[in-house]
Structures are given as C-alpha cells and as structure tokens.
Copies of this chain bind each other. A is one copy, B any other.
C-alpha cells in the first residue's frame, strides 16, 4: 500500500498555502505536520527539519518516497505525477502565461514579504521602514500582477480553468489585506481572488482552516 504523502506546513505560510491548494484541487489526501515558524525561534531551524529541507523553509512534501522542497517544484511534481485534475493547460504558450503569473508572486512578491525578511527589517531598520518597504514593494508587484491578470484572466487567473496560477493568488490576496495594501486599482486581482474563495477545494486549503491555525485567526 502506498504511503500517504506528508506535508510540512504552517497555517500562515503563503508558500505552504499554495501547495495545500494544489493538493486539494487534485484531491490528494495527505498528512498535515506543523512546522511552527515563530514558536521557540522557529521549528524550521531544528536539525530534524533541516535534514528534510536545508533551506529551513516550508513547505516540504514527502511523497512517493521523495522529499521535495520549494512550492513550485512540488506543484510541478504533482502535475507531472497526478495529471488527472490538470493544473497546467496543454498549450506551451498558455503554460508560460501560468508560470509567469506564478513566478510574479513566487519570485518577485512573496520573497519580499516573508517572515525572515520582515523580521530583519524590523530589527535592523525599525518598524516604520519595515512598513514603508511593504507598501513600496507589495504595491509595485501587485500592480504588475494586476496587469498580467488584466491580459490573461478569464473566470480565473489564466482563462476559465483553474491552474497553478490560481494556487498563488489567495495567499497573496490575504497578504495584501494583512499589510493594508490598496487594491483600488486591482479589479482583476480582487475578482479572481474572490471567485477562488468560493470554491470548496480552496476553502479546505485556506490558512484559517488548518489544524495549526489559532482559534480566532486574523490578518
């Protein structure tokens, strides 16, 4: 009997959230294990976890006997090994659009809002600079994302089917709300995020629905 995949995740981690969406949309059952990024200086620094993921980041997925880090690497693996519910279109230029949206969040936006970066800014430059940073870079990158969605989106991020691009939208939308980024000029981003919010697979993957979320979670 094949072993159930194990996901190391933290409820609030946007990179974990993306993978939870992909797993949920593809109906892949998995065991949830918490890596609490804040408790005791962060469980991601413990040697047992470092052995699984030397980047000290979540998520890590153990699946089919393999241990995979990096949300994009995990999602592409799921797509290649479990294509029954596809998250990439068939046509290469459409796939490129999906991946362009994914990387605009994964490589441009999220890295500048993640916990270790914000902790460094708070400590080394102070809270005011940390907030200026968030306003500056999140606004810049979400505007870019909006322009891509204006061109590519239909009902969802790229056309009318759910793709990997949609896996990155909800966590980024909630980060924008959390950090009070104005979305007045982002009608497509807001529309897609709200459409995704309604879907059962996305509800299951939501930060607030995770076993390690606090009782009254907030953004």
Contact = CB atoms under 8 A, between A and B. Distances in A.
Interface stretch (A21-29, A96-104, A199-207): A96-104
Interface stretch (A3-11, A30-38, A54-62): A54-62
Interface stretch (A64-72, A169-177, A179-187, A189-197): A64-72
Contacts of A93: 64, 66, 68, 77
A133 B118 CA distance: 12
Interface string A125-152: 1000100110011000101100110000
B77 A81 contact: no
A99 B99 CA distance: 13
Interface residues of A, number: 47
A115 interface: no
A213 interface: no
Q: Is the interface of A mostly helix, strand, loop or mixed?
A: helix
A80 B95 contact: yes
B132 A54 contact: no
A107 interface: yes
A77 B96 contact: yes
Contacts of A110: 107
Given A77-B92, A95-B80, A100 B70 contact: yes
A209 B99 CA distance: 29
Interface in A67-97: 68-74, 76-77, 80-81, 92-93, 95-97
Contacts of A112: 111, 117
A108 to B, nearest CB: 6
B108 A55 contact: yes
Contacts of A124: 125, 129, 132-133
A134 to B, nearest CB: 12
A144 B55 contact: yes
Contacts of A103: 70-73, 106-107
Contacts of A96: 66, 68, 73-74, 76-77
Contacts of A104: 55, 69-70
